[in-house]
């Protein structure tokens, strides 16, 4: 198979409000947090993911929803290596049909390239790529948004490689160890959990998140290889990919339409007309995406408010008006629902994180 320095298909929506990610990570995060005596159900419900919804096979969450839950879970558990725990807790069934296709692949390299190609179907919150280099066969995990909260960025990088190592050992043999692992974030106070999990040299503060596979392993046959089964599952994955791409296109078009129209919000009837669709059909398509028009509008407004709050010259009245709120009280209620704080508190937090205050 040819090397792939980037996924053949777009890695996902460019807007963080779109609900396009399977919540696999959040499900395992809830299980791991429970071991710390931390119940994430109230937090999940707060961002619209109650227990019944989380059990839905059709559920998709946004980067924004996922990041909010991860950020709070790290705070509540106090575990700076929570990403490692969540990645190591996963099972062979964690990636659904994609995991099954990988197990039925011919070699470990084929399995990895299948994972990269169909990463949109795995619930990944990083962007995967893989290529053969002088150092060996390299798997990269890039963050979808470089402006992510640092704690969330660390969690996602840890979870990404911890899950790859864990599932490789479950499918190919417990003795597997990468040749090396590199993380872009600074070295933590205690690096022992990394050495114990990966059982190879681990470097921090590098140019990117990389895992290098030893040559003998990358060409090793998968124990469950089955060309017929693999071909059948790949056909199903192609069908799902086409459907997912259509869903992402719909959400992005709606979000852009809403963002360009603010402070006015196009009515649902108007959006159906623009898409040459009936209201019933558009509502059904949104339901297939695991969302509603109201939720999409809310997400775009939230993003607009967060952008405007970074501009000190704007008053809350200005921000509320530009984001389409009736008055400042409505803005305050929305920000409290999204973040559990006032708009001014959120402004100060955002400016501090961007080094505008105190640095």
Residue 129: DSSP 8-state:
E
CA-based nearest residue to 121, from 105, 94, 98, 104: 98
Q: Where are the alpha helices (DSSP H) in 131-226?
A: 150-172, 192-198, 215-218
pLDDT digits over 204-249, tens only? 999 999 999 999 999 999 999 999 999 999 999 988 877 777 777 7
pLDDT digits over 148-188, tens only? 678 889 999 999 999 999 999 999 999 999 999 999 999 99
pLDDT digits over 313-349, tens only? 999 999 999 999 999 999 999 999 888 889 999 888 8
| CA-to-CA separations, 109 to 132, 216, 279, in angstroms, rounded | 10, 11, 46
- The residues, ordered by sequence, that sit 6+ positions from 316 with a Cβ below 8 Å of its Cβ are 328, 331, 332, 343, 344
**For the CA atoms of 329, 330, 335, 341, what is the dihedral angle to 10 degrees?**
30
**pLDDT band, residue 21 (cuts 50/70/90):** low
Mean pLDDT of 56-70: 74
CA distance 145 to 310: 18
CA-based nearest residue to 68, from 345, 332, 339: 339
């Amino acid at each position: 198979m040819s090397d792939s320095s980037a996924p053949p298909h777009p890695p996902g929506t460019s807007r963080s409000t779109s609900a396009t990610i399977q919540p696999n990570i959040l499900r395992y995060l809830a299980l791991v947090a429970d071991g710390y005596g931390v119940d994430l159900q109230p937090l999940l419900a707060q961002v619209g993911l109650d227990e019944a919804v989380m059990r839905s096979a059709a559920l998709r969450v946004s980067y924004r929803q996922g990041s909010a839950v991860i950020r709070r879970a790290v705070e509540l558990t106090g575990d700076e290596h929570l990403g490692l725990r969540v990645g190591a807790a996963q099972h062979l069934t964690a990636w659904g049909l994609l995991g099954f296709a990988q197990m039925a692949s011919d070699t470990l390299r084929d399995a990895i390239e299948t994972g990269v190609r169909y990463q949109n179907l795995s619930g990944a919150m990083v962007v995967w790529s893989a290529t053969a280099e002088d150092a060996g066969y390299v798997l990269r995990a890039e963050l979808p948004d470089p402006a992510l909260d640092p704690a969330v960025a660390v969690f996602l990088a840890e979870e990404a490689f911890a899950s790859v190592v864990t599932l490789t050992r479950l499918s190919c043999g417990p003795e597997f160890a990468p040749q090396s692992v590199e993380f872009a974030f600074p070295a933590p106070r205690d690096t022992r959990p990394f050495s114990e999990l990966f059982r190879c040299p681990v470097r921090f503060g590098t140019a990117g998140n990389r895992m290098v596979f030893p040559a003998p392993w990358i060409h090793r046959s998968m124990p469950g290889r089955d060309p017929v089964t693999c071909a059948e599952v790949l056909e199903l994955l192609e069908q799902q990919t086409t459907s997912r791409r259509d869903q992402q296109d719909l959400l992005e078009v709606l979000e852009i339409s809403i963002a360009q129209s603010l402070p006015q919000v196009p009515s649902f009837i108007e959006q159906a007309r623009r898409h040459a669709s009936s209201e019933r059909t558009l509502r059904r398509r949104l339901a297939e995406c695991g969302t509603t028009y109201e939720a999409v509008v809310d997400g775009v407004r939230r993003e607009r408010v967060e952008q405007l709050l970074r501009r000190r010259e704007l008053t809350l009245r200005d921000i509320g008006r530009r984001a389409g709120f009736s008055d400042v009280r409505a803005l305050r209620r929305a920000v409290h629902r999204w973040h559990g704080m006032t708009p001014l508190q959120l402004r100060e937090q955002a400016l501090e994180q961007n080094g505008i205050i105190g640095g």
